C-alpha cells in the first residue's frame, strides 16, 4: 500500500519553505517529489530594472549563508563586460573572504548534520568554533552575514597588519578543532553507523542528474570550478580537490571536513602572499553590449550567472542558477528506497495508516495498482497476516 | 580538453550543423545551432566529448526571437549552445532523455517565458504559484508587473 506524505512547506527541519511529497510504502520511500516556488522573489526580473551597482546589493541578498558567492559571481562577470581588471590585492582579499565564507558554511553544515543524526554535542562544538570565523568576517567587513565586500573593480575594504595576524592566529585554533572533527566524523562508531549508506547517490546518477559541489564530489566526481575554471586568485593558489568514494552522507561529511583543511591552506597562502597596492579600480557606469558566463564554486557547489548587457547602465538579462537547484534532482534520487527516519524528522510523528482507518479506506496496491475498499477490521486482518509472516525490517530494501 | 581541441572535435562531429562557433574568452565557447539540430548536437556532445554536466538553461527575450542558451561545464571551462526559436512558434524539444538533470531548467523556461517544451517528462509549473493567472510569463520583456489594488476587508470608504 502506498501513501503520499507531504513535508513542508513549513517545517522545523527545513529552515526554508520547500514542499516535499513522499510516496511511501511501509517505511520505505518509493518516490519523492519536490515543489518549489514558496520563496520565489522575481529577482531576475527585478535585476533588469536596477543599475549595475544596485544589483550587487540585490544579488548579495539571494542567500544569507553564501552572500559573498553571489556577489563575486555577479561582479566578476560584470567586470568582464566593462573590460576592467581588478588589482591583484583586491582579488586576493575577495578570495580570502570567499574561503572564510566556505569555512563558516561547512562548519554550519557539520553542526546541522550532527544535529539531524542525533549527535547534538557535535552540533554545539562546531557552531561554537564557527563563531571564530564569524568574528573574523565581522572584523574584516563589519558584518556577520552580508559582508558587502565586493564592488565593481575590486573590494571595498582593505586588510591591515593586525587583522592579518589575528586571522593567522585563529587558523591555528580552527585547524586543531577540525582535526578533532575529522577524527569524530570518520571514526566515531555511532556517528558513522548513522551516516554510512544513507542517501546513496552513485557516480553515474550524480553525473546524469548534474549534481554539483560536495554532493557530486562525495560520489567521486572530481569537479571543482576553483580548479577547472579558476577565477579571482585561485590560479595562483595551491589546493587539492577533495573527493570520497562512499557516495553517501558519510562521504559528504568527510568531503566537507577535508575541504575545511584545504580552505585553511588557501587562507594561509593568501595572507602570507598578499600583494601590496590598490584594492580596487574605478568602474564605468555603463557596459557595452556583450554577454558573459560567470562561474563560481560556492560552499554548496557551482554557482552560475549568465549576464547580458545592452549598452546601458542596466543589465539586459541576469540569469542566476544557485547550486541548490542543481542538486534537487539528485536529492530525489537519494531519498528513493531510503527510510522515512532518514528524512528528518517529524515523519515519525505521523502515522499515516491509522488516522482515517476508523471508517473505510481506499487502498491502492502498489504492485498491481488494484483499487479496493476495505473495512477497518479487514485492514487489521491483513496487517496481522502480514506481520505474522515477516517483519517489515526484513522486507525493507536497504539503500546500500 | 582545451578550447581548441573541443572546437576542432565539434566541427568534425557536427559539420554544417554548427551555424557559428566562437571562443570570446579563455575557457568560454559559444556555439550556435539551429533548433532542429539541438537534440542531435546535445546527444553528440554528451557521447563523444563527455559533456555530462549541464550548468543551466538560460532563456532570453530577444525581440522577435527567444534565445535559449544551454550552458555546459567541463574540466577545463565551459561550452554554451545557443539556439533561437521564433516567438510565434515557441516550441522546443526536451533534452531530458539525454541529460535527465535538465528537467528543472526546462520547467523554469516554460514558467518564465511560456515556451512549450515538447516531450518534457514533467510539465507541471515549477516556481510560479498555483493561482498564477494563465498567459502571464514574467521574464518576457513586454510583461510588466502591476500591483493589484489593495483591498482591506471591511475598510470600504
Question: pLDDT by residue (tens digit) across A211-225?
Answer: 888 889 988 999 999
What local confidence, expressed as pLDDT, does residue A270 receive? 95
pLDDT above 70 as % of chain A: 84
Tell me the nearest-neighbour CA distance from A304 into chain B, angstroms: 7
What local confidence, expressed as pLDDT, does residue A400 receive? 43
What local confidence, expressed as pLDDT, does residue B155 receive? 73
Average pLDDT over residues A130-156: 93
Is there a contact between B99 and A208 if contact means CB atoms under 8 Å apart?
yes
Residues of chain A in contact with residue B43, where contact means CB-CB under 8 angstroms, are none
Average pLDDT over residues B59-74: 92
A91 φ, ψ (degrees, to nearest 5)? -65, -40
Q: Which of residues 254-313 of A touch B (CB under 8 A)?
A: 291-293, 295, 302, 304, 306, 308
Is there a contact between A209 and B53 if contact means CB atoms under 8 Å apart?
no
> Average pLDDT of chain B?
90
Question: Residue A330 — very low, low, confident or very high, per pLDDT cuts 50/70/90?
Answer: confident
What local confidence, expressed as pLDDT, does residue A339 receive? 77
Average pLDDT over residues A120-135: 92
Among all chains, which residue has been given the C-alpha cell 580552527?
A174
* Per-residue model confidence as pLDDT tens digits over A93-105: 999 999 999 999 9
pLDDT above 50 (res B47) = yes
Is there a contact between A329 and B54 if contact means CB atoms under 8 Å apart?
no
What local confidence, expressed as pLDDT, does residue A357 receive? 23
Please, which residues have CB within 8 angstroms of residue A166's CB and are 6 or more apart in sequence?
A136, A139
pLDDT above 70 (res A346) = no
pLDDT above 60 (res A348) = no
What local confidence, expressed as pLDDT, does residue B157 receive? 59
For A48-321, give the CATH class: mainly alpha
Tell me which architecture the domain covering B3-118 has in CATH. 2-Layer Sandwich (3.30)
Average pLDDT over residues B22-41: 92
Provide the H-helix boundaries in A117-235. Answer: 120-141, 161-187, 189-195, 203-208, 213-218, 225-228
Q: Does B98 touch chain A (CB under 8 A)?
A: no
Within a 13 Å sphere around the CA of A155, how many CA atoms are in the beta-carbon half? 24
What is the ipTM, given to two decimal places?
Answer: 0.92
DSSP codes of every residue in A6-55: EE-SSBTTBSS--EEEEEEETTEEEEEEEE--TT---HHHHHTTS-HHHH
More confident residue, A16 or A339: A339
Is there a contact between B126 and A308 if contact means CB atoms under 8 Å apart?
no
What local confidence, expressed as pLDDT, does residue A136 receive? 95
Strands B18-25, A371-374: pairing kind: unpaired
Q: Does A168 touch chain B (CB under 8 A)?
A: no
Q: What is the distance between the alpha carbons of residues A76 and A150, in angstroms, rounded to a whole number?
A: 9
Residue among B36, B61, B58, B19 at smallest CA distance from B118: B36
What local confidence, expressed as pLDDT, does residue A368 receive? 45
Residue among A262, A285, A27, A263 at smallest CA distance from A152: A285
What local confidence, expressed as pLDDT, does residue A344 receive? 62
Is there a contact between A326 and B56 if contact means CB atoms under 8 Å apart?
yes
What's the Rg (C-alpha) of chain B? Answer: 19
Q: What is the distance between the alpha carbons of residues A315 and A311, in angstroms, rounded to a whole number?
A: 9
Q: Where in chain A are the domains?
A: 2-36+334-395, 48-321
Region for A308 from its dihedrals, namely left if φ exceeds 0, alpha if ψ lies in -120 to 50, beta otherwise? beta
Q: What is the distance between the alpha carbons of residues B82 and B21, in angstroms, rounded to a whole number?
A: 10
pLDDT above 80 (res A8) = no
* Per-residue model confidence as pLDDT tens digits over A51-66: 999 999 999 988 888 8
Average pLDDT over residues A267-285: 94
What local confidence, expressed as pLDDT, does residue A379 receive? 52
Looking at the partner chain, which of B75, B100, B126 has a beta carbon nearest the beta carbon of A208? B100
* Per-residue model confidence as pLDDT tens digits over B91-147: 999 999 999 999 999 999 998 999 999 999 988 888 888 888 888 898 999 988 888
Q: What is the distance between the alpha carbons of residues B93 and A264, in angstroms, rounded to a whole number?
A: 46
Average pLDDT over residues B14-32: 91
Amino acid at each position: 500500500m502506498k501513501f503520499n506524505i507531504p513535508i513542508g512547506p513549513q517545517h522545523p527541519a527545513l529552515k526554508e519553505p520547500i514542499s516535499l511529497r513522499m510516496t511511501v510504502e511501509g517505511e520505505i520511500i518509493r518516490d519523492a517529489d519536490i515543489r518549489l516556488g514558496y520563496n520565489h522573489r522575481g529577482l531576475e526580473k527585478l535585476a533588469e530594472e536596477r543599475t549595475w551597482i544596485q544589483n550587487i546589493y540585490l544579488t548579495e541578498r539571494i542567500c544569507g549563508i553564501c552572500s559573498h558567492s553571489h556577489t563575486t559571481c555577479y561582479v566578476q562577470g560584470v567586470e568582464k563586460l566593462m573590460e576592467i581588471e581588478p588589482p591583484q590585492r583586491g582579488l586576493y582579499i575577495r578570495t580570502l573572504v570567499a574561503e572564510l565564507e566556505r569555512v563558516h558554511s561547512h562548519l554550519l553544515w557539520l553542526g546541522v548534520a550532527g544535529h539531524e543524526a542525533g549527535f547534538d554535542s557535535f552540533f554545539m562544538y562546531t557552531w561554537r568554533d564557527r563563531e571564530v570565523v564569524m568574528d573574523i568576517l565581522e572584523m574584516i567587513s563589519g558584518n556577520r552575514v552580508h559582508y558587502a565586500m565586493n564592488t565593481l573593480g575590486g573590494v571595498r575594504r582593505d586588510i591591515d597588519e593586525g587583522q592579518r595576524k589575528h586571522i593567522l592566529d585563529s587558523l591555528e585554533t580552527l585547524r586543531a578543532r577540525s582535526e578533532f572533527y575529522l577524527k569524530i566524523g570518520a571514526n566515531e562508531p555511532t556517528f558513522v553507523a548513522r551516516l554510512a549508506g544513507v542517501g546513496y547517490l552513485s557516480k553515474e546518477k550524480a553525473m546524469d542528474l548534474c549534481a554539483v559541489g560536495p554532493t557530486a564530489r562525495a560520489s567521486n566526481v572530481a569537479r571543482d570550478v576553483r580548479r577547472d575554471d579558476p577565477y579571482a586568485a585561485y590560479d595562483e593558489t595551491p589546493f587539492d580537490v577533495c573527493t570520497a568514494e562512499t557516495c553517501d552522507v558519510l562521504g559528504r561529511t568527510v568531503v566537507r571536513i577535508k575541504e575545511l583543511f584545504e580552505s585553511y591552506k588557501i587562507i594561509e597562502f593568501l595572507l602570507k602572499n598578499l600583494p601590496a597596492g590598490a584594492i580596487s579600480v574605478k568602474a564605468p557606469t555603463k557596459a557595452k553590449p556583450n554577454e558573459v558566463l560567470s562561474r563560481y564554486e560556492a560552499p554548496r557547489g557551482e554557482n552560475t550567472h549568465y549576464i547580458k548587457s545592452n549598452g546601458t547602465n542596466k543589465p539586459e538579462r541576469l540569469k542566476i542558477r544557485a547550486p541548490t537547484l542543481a542538486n534537487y534532482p539528485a536529492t530525489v534520487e537519494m531519498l528513493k528506497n531510503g527510510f522515512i527516519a532518514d528524512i528528518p524528522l517529524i515523519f515519525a510523528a505521523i502515522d499515516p495508516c491509522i488516522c482515517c482507518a476508523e471508517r473505510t479506506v481506499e487502498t491502492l496496491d502498489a504492485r498491481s495498482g488494484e483499487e479496493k475498499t476495505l473495512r477497518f477490521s479487514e485492514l487489521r486482518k491483513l496487517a496481522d497476516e502480514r506481520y505474522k509472516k515477516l517483519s517489515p525490517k526484513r522486507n525493507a530494501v536497504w539503500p546500500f | 580538453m582545451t578550447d581548441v581541441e573541443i572546437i576542432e572535435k565539434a566541427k568534425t562531429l557536427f559539420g554544417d550543423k554548427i551555424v557559428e562557433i566562437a571562443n570570446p574568452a579563455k575557457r568560454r565557447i559559444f556555439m550556435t545551432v539551429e533548433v532542429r539540430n539541438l537534440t542531435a548536437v546535445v546527444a553528440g556532445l554528451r557521447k563523444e566529448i563527455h559533456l555530462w554536466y549541464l550548468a543551466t538553461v538560460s532563456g532570453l527575450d530577444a525581440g522577435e526571437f527567444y534565445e535559449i542558451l544551454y550552458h555546459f561545464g567541463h574540466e577545463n571551462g565551459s561550452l554554451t549552445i545557443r539556439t533561437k526559436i521564433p516567438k510565434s512558434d515557441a516550441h522546443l524539444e526536451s533534452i531530458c532523455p539525454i541529460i535527465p538533470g535538465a528537467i528543472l531548467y526546462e520547467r523554469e523556461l516554460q514558467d518564465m517565458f511560456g515556451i512549450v517544451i515538447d516531450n518534457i517528462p514533467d510539465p507541471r509549473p515549477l516556481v510560479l504559484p498555483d493561482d498564477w493567472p494563465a498567459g502571464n510569463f514574467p521574464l518576457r520583456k513586454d510583461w510588466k508587473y502591476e500591483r493589484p489594488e489593495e483591498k482591506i476587508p471591511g475598510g470600504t470608504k
